[in-house]
Amino acid sequence: MNKTKKIKRIIKKFTPDFIMSIWRKYQEIKEKKEWKKWAIPLENQVKNYLENIPKESMTDEIQEILDYLRKPHSYTHIPYSYKENYNPDNVKVYKDNERGMLYVIYDEKRLYFKKDWHEKWIRKYYNYLMIEQDEKSPHRYETSDFCVNQGDIVVDAGAAEGNFALSVIEKVKKIYLFEVEEEWIDVLRVTFEPWKDKVVIIKKYISDNNENNCVTLDSIFENEEINFIKADIEGAEIQLLNGAKSIMAREMPPKIILCTYHNQNDAEIIDNMLTKQGFNTEFSKGFMIYLYETLNPPYLRRGLIRAWKNKKR
């Protein structure tokens, strides 16, 4: 084979898909290096801090995390050995040729993902969703006695790919999905197309004001009942509560699940806000280590809080 033919053969390999696969591999290696550059030293810092906790202050919960950090493990916000039972290689990804989108089967339903996501990334992402919602996870939304009931009207704030909403879609009378990222909104429309008669997608940030691209729950649901609120909105959970004072003061307010790990003092602040409003509260099991550069002692944060006002949860 002469040089010209060799060159042509090589050039033919450089299809758009091939180039994209190389780019993705490069990005993956780059992100992994960046992660190790600061996340590993930070996790070691957390471990050293926990090892210096006085014996009289060492609880079983903290000891379990310390034991995990002392062993070889994958780096994550969730410092528990159960997650090592999950493997992204076991996640099956399917293709919807008609839509040109990839999906997984979640709770016997199709859960779609962004069009530019490749299979490997979807496996990793979905695997982590499963870790988050394990019964032992500090990030698990529902429990057997704290969950969405048949016929509920639900607010899912920070819907993202829609895994929570999809898990309760058969129960709900109506569900409002709050999401601002356009690519996720496109995905949500496809995932929830079979239930479009009871799904409302709202492209707004939930906050304590109605300016710019923000909205309060009080303004949207002034004349409508809500039975359940789930919020995972990157640290804006306090603003959500400040914009839902009328809803929380109702005779039959909704059950509430809020993430409390994004900011250093959110767990304490949110718990105080809810109890002052007359809610009963409980935190999820265990702690999370929110591995970002702003993490400060004591490092361990409660994953989420559940709140209810009626006698029965």
Query: Do the domain assignments include residue 226?
Result: yes
The tens digit of pLDDT for each residue in 145-161 reads: 999 999 999 999 999 99
Average pLDDT value for the chain = 89
Share of the chain above pLDDT 90, in %: 78
Burial class (CB in 10 A: 0-12, 13-18, 19+), 114: middle
Residue 15, phi then psi, degrees to nearest 5? -75, 165
Top-confidence range, 37-46, 210-219, 293-302: 210-219
Q: Buried b / exposed e across 235-262, counting CB within 10 Å, b at 16+?
A: ebbbbbbebbeebbeeeebbbbbbbbbb
- Give the DSSP letter string of 219-279: HHSTTS---EEEE--TT-HHHHHHT-HHHHTSSSPPEEEEE--SSTTHHHHHHHHHHHTT-
- Give the DSSP letter string of 103-148: EEEETTEEEE--TT--HHHHHHHHHHHHHHTSTT-TT---BTTBSP
Question: Are 293 and 157 within one domain?
Answer: yes
- Give the DSSP letter string of 170-218: TT-SEEEEE---HHHHHHHHHHTGGGGGGEEEE--EE-SS-STTEE-HH
Question: Are 228 and 264 within one domain?
Answer: yes
Query: Do the domain assignments include residue 28?
Result: no
Give, for 165, the enclosing helix (H) or strand (E): helix 163-168
Give the chain's length: 313
Question: Are 172 and 291 within one domain?
Answer: yes
Question: Are 107 and 156 within one domain?
Answer: no
295, 301, 303, 307: CA torsion to nearest 10? -130
pLDDT reported for residue 21: 52
Spatial separation of the C-alpha atoms in residues 20 and 221, rounded to whole Å: 44
Query: Do the domain assignments include residue 102?
Result: yes
Question: Are 171 and 291 within one domain?
Answer: yes
Question: Are 117 and 191 within one domain?
Answer: no
- Which of 101, 129, 157 corresponds to the end of one domain? 129
Question: Are 152 and 264 within one domain?
Answer: yes
Query: Do the domain assignments include residue 37?
Result: no
Query: Do the domain assignments include residue 27?
Result: no
Spatial separation of the C-alpha atoms in residues 133 and 143, rounded to whole Å: 10
pLDDT reported for residue 43: 86
pLDDT reported for residue 291: 77
CATH number at residue 161: 3.40.50.150
Query: Do the domain assignments include residue 159?
Result: yes
Question: Are 256 and 303 within one domain?
Answer: yes
Containing structural domain, residue 102: 89-129
pLDDT reported for residue 126: 97
Spatial separation of the C-alpha atoms in residues 207 and 210, rounded to whole Å: 8
pLDDT at 312 over 60: no
Whose CA is closest to 161, among 132, 133, 187, 141?
A: 187
Question: Are 184 and 99 within one domain?
Answer: no
Share of the chain above pLDDT 70, in %: 87
Spatial separation of the C-alpha atoms in residues 151 and 305, rounded to whole Å: 23
Question: Are 180 and 243 within one domain?
Answer: yes
pLDDT reported for residue 31: 55
Judge whether 308 and 255 are in contact, CB under 8 Å. yes
Name the least confident of 59-68, 250-259, 261-270, 285-294.
Answer: 285-294
Question: Are 282 and 164 within one domain?
Answer: yes
Burial class (CB in 10 A: 0-12, 13-18, 19+), 107: exposed
Query: Do the domain assignments include residue 98?
Result: yes
- Which of 129, 151, 180 corresponds to the end of one domain? 129
The alpha carbon of 257 is separated from its chain's Cα centroid by a whole number of angstroms, namely 12
Please count the structural domains in the chain.
2
Q: Would you state the structure tokens that stand for residue 139, as one six-digit string?
A: 């990030």
- Which of 97, 129, 161 corresponds to the end of one domain? 129
Q: Select the more confidently predicted residue: 89 or 5.
A: 89
Question: Are 188 and 242 within one domain?
Answer: yes
The tens digit of pLDDT for each residue in 9-35 reads: 555 555 555 554 554 554 554 555 555
The tens digit of pLDDT for each residue in 50-103 reads: 999 999 999 999 999 999 999 988 777 899 999 999 999 999 999 999 999 999
The tens digit of pLDDT for each residue in 197-233 reads: 999 999 999 999 999 999 999 999 999 999 999 999 9
Query: Do the domain assignments include residue 274?
Result: yes
